């Protein structure tokens, strides 16, 4: 399953109602590293389908969730388990690094 785009309105429900950990990619249209990482995020979402959910949130269009979790730089990845923040990574990563980070964090 490909990564899903979420809005501020959907964010709390997504992370709170999930029975598996949720990986959230906080990104921005103007962010070069975010664009480079986007295909990796989608590939990891496909590979780890069933183990985690992967969501993307555009920080410019949806400022509430990034502000709530202190996102200051892009790209930022966060993992939520049971509705609570479990891990954070700031900066671009390769596909393998993303996969390894998720597996170590969940």
* Residues annotated as part of the active site: 31, 34
Query: If DSSP codes are grouped into helix, strand and coil, which group holds residue 28?
Result: coil
């Amino acid at each position: 399953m490909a990564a899903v785009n979420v809005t501020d309105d959907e964010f709390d429900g997504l992370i709170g109602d999930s029975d598996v950990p949720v990986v959230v990619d906080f990104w921005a249209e103007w962010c070069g590293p975010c664009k480079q990482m986007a295909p990796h995020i989608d590939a990891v979402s496909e590979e780890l389908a069933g183990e985690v959910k992967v969501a993307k949130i555009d920080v410019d269009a949806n400022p509430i969730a990034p502000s709530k979790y202190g996102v200051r730089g892009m790209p930022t990845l966060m993992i939520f388990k049971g509705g609570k923040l479990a891990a954070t990574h700031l900066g671009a990563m390769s596909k393998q690094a993303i996969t390894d980070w998720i597996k170590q964090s969940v």
